[in-house]
Structure 1
């Protein structure tokens, strides 16, 4: 049975007349635990009795474990997990940049939803990153519950309420989301040339993610054989991930650009190719001597930032003329085609085209590699006729754009 004992304060190495109460209680293994700092004998005994009652019911958590610093447990949790390399890298980036500077030394039991939400709303970063930080913290705290460090996760199932300022920033970003008219896509493809231009054209009319597009090879070109329906297709099974490799303790071990399986079951898909794209990709793949279709001139995987700077920004944003000076050649001005356009915006473009031509949701979700929510995902399935309508619609968008531009081919033969 729990009991209380006096603990006299010490000053200059000598006990004083001032004292507090310490509780002594029987732990599950039969040893005696203690908890100091109570102002009265009664509060110490009540606390001890509550501990023993929790032990008898099987709901007890060791107070010493409750005081585990969040940073200590976060590192242990990260070392025990083995997600895809890019996922681990992102988690460490969020921990080091945002989470640990605030929560490193906070005891697990002291973390509350109120404090965490207020902290997230005050972060000076993208709103999605702030939400992601809360999600990572919640996963780590759920692991602490599983390890019996805390009885419950205070962040589990909670929905973040954004401040007015955060909502305004989010609204501004929503307005900045781009999609490209088909004429712009064709102009970008021509300006970038047959190599990088084919990359741009393929992403805009298939909706490939950046990493998925880098993993496209000749072997990716296939055929869909479905009852009485056949069409050229593109198999998506892997992607090229770019991330900073980390050690078990989060130490930085250098950048990695490597193949990985696609992240989700929905991402593993076969994309139906409209006739114009198949007619362009097939000879392109036959003439490609590299391991993958969309690589740098030296045969390496593109880095996202390099492709953006050397290809997308150069043609989408244009550039000013440069006069000839000592050590620098003259350079003509390049007019902008569509400022701010990115490869991610071209993925948005594909799904926007699907909506424009009325692609049925069951097929639109499948082709984009998205998980469709709700019971309709179980009961509705793409049919051959849906596939024909989608291909006819995308082909029509391409042909209309070619006529609008007055072009007979994207890359005129010199």
Structure 2
């Protein structure tokens, strides 16, 4: 049974007559725990009785664990998680950039929604980043509940309100969606090797990591689907879990040191593993590229190495944004001046572009979701399935976009021979 002991205060190394009470109680393992600082015997004994009752009922939380610092528990929680590498990197970016500077030394039990919401309103990052930070904190606090450090997560089910205006400027629609003509002009500017990256991204909607991790063995396979007494066929690009997609992120060792990782990982979820139907013109371009391309992966540097995002950025930016002419100089080749085609264009914008084109040409939602690697929402995602006529309509629509753009540009081929 819990009992109380006097704890005399010490001043200048000598025990005084003033004292508080310390509770002694039996822990689940049979050892005795203690909790100091009670002003009276009764309060100490009552507190101890509550602990022993909670222990008997299986709902006891160790007070020492509840006082663990948030920053210490973060490292325990992160070590227990096994998400994709880039997700881990993004979580550490949120933690080190925003969360830990404020909450690192806070005891878990001291964190409450009032303080968290007030802190969130002071952040000057984008609203989406602020929400990500709060959601991540809540997940960590859920982990503290699951690890029996806390009885309840005070952040569970709470919603942020009163956030300041978002300082991040959102791109206008016209800056996120390219015209087919702009895609082809950019592709011609980059040439038949790098330009094919752009065309393929815009006309298939592949994610950047799916595109740069595409193996030639998964390119121009054939879809075969029974229909109308025959078989519907079309060329496809396969995103699967065997070859995987290219991942690029920072890995931390046990001491917290970072090392860049670049390698193949499975797709991010079940829906991301898919077969993407390829329109006829793109199938011809890919077939020609593969016949001449000596490397294992379809979209790499000229030497066959995987692209770093930052390296590809240096290729895309001047092509999209334009550049000034540079005369020939020692160590530098001459460069012609380029007018802007679509300043600020990114590979993610090309994925936006493809899905917007799908809507424009009337692709059925169940097929559009499948081709983008998204889950069709609701019960209809279980009952509805793409059919060959739906697929053919999509391919015809994408082919028509290409042919109309080529006609508008007055071109007979994207790359001049």
Task: Output the TM-score relative to the length of structure 1.
Answer: 0.92
> Offset of 1:60 from its aligned partner?
0.8
Q: In the superposition, relative to structure 1, how do residues 203 and 330 fare at CA in structure 2: closer, same or farther (>3 Å)? A: closer
Query: Does residue 316 of structure 1 match 2:288?
Result: no
Please show how residues 197-212 of structure 1 align to structure 2 within 5 Å.
Answer: 197-212=195-210
Candidates 269, 280, 283, aligned match of 2:285: 280
Give yes or no for contact 1:218–1:286 (8 Å, CA) kept in 2: no
Give yes or no for contact 1:267–1:369 (8 Å, CA) kept in 2: yes
> Offset of 1:34 from its aligned partner?
1.5
Aligned position for 1:178 = 176
Structure 2 residue ranges without an equivalent (≥5): none
CA distance in 1, matches of 2:377, 2:193: 37
Aligned position for 1:32 = 32
1:50-70 deviation line (CA, Å, top 9, x unaligned) = 222322321110101111112
Aligned position for 1:339 = 343
Residue aligned with 1:227, SS: strand
1:330-388 deviation line (CA, Å, top 9, x unaligned) = 64421000111011100100000011112111111110011222222122211111111
Query: Does residue 412 of structure 1 match 2:410?
Result: no
Aligned length: 408
Aligned position for 1:233 = 236
Query: Does residue 394 of structure 1 match 2:398?
Result: yes
1:159-203 deviation line (CA, Å, top 9, x unaligned) = 33351323xx35x32537611111110111111110010010000
Give yes or no for contact 1:206–1:271 (8 Å, CA) kept in 2: yes
> Offset of 1:249 from its aligned partner?
4.4
Aligned position for 1:223 = 222
> Offset of 1:8 from its aligned partner?
1.9
Instruction: Give RMSD over aligned pairs.
Output: 2.1
> Offset of 1:324 from its aligned partner?
6.4
Give yes or no for contact 1:23–1:45 (8 Å, CA) kept in 2: yes
> Offset of 1:38 from its aligned partner?
2.0
Residue aligned with 1:257, SS: strand
1:250-301 deviation line (CA, Å, top 9, x unaligned) = 321x212111111111100000111111111112112110111111122211
Q: In the superposition, relative to structure 1, how do residues 327 and 409 fare at CA in structure 2: closer, same or farther (>3 Å)? A: closer
> Offset of 1:234 from its aligned partner?
0.6
Aligned position for 2:256 = 250
> Offset of 1:321 from its aligned partner?
3.2
> Offset of 1:42 from its aligned partner?
3.6
Report which stretch shifted further, 231-240 or 77-86: 77-86
> Offset of 1:19 from its aligned partner?
2.2
CA distance in 1, matches of 2:154, 2:253: 29
Please show how residues 306-385 of structure 1 align to structure 2 within 5 Å.
Answer: 306-309=311-314, 311-322=315-326, 331-385=335-389
Structure 1 residue ranges without an equivalent (≥5): none
Residue aligned with 1:385, SS: helix
Give yes or no for contact 1:75–1:249 (8 Å, CA) kept in 2: no
1:230-261 deviation line (CA, Å, top 9, x unaligned) = 11111012211111121134321x21211111
1:287-326 deviation line (CA, Å, top 9, x unaligned) = 11011111112221111111112x2111111012346678
Residue aligned with 1:105, SS: coil
Query: Does residue 103 of structure 1 match 2:106?
Result: no
> Offset of 1:329 from its aligned partner?
6.2
1:34-83 deviation line (CA, Å, top 9, x unaligned) = 21112333433332232223223211101011111122222122223333
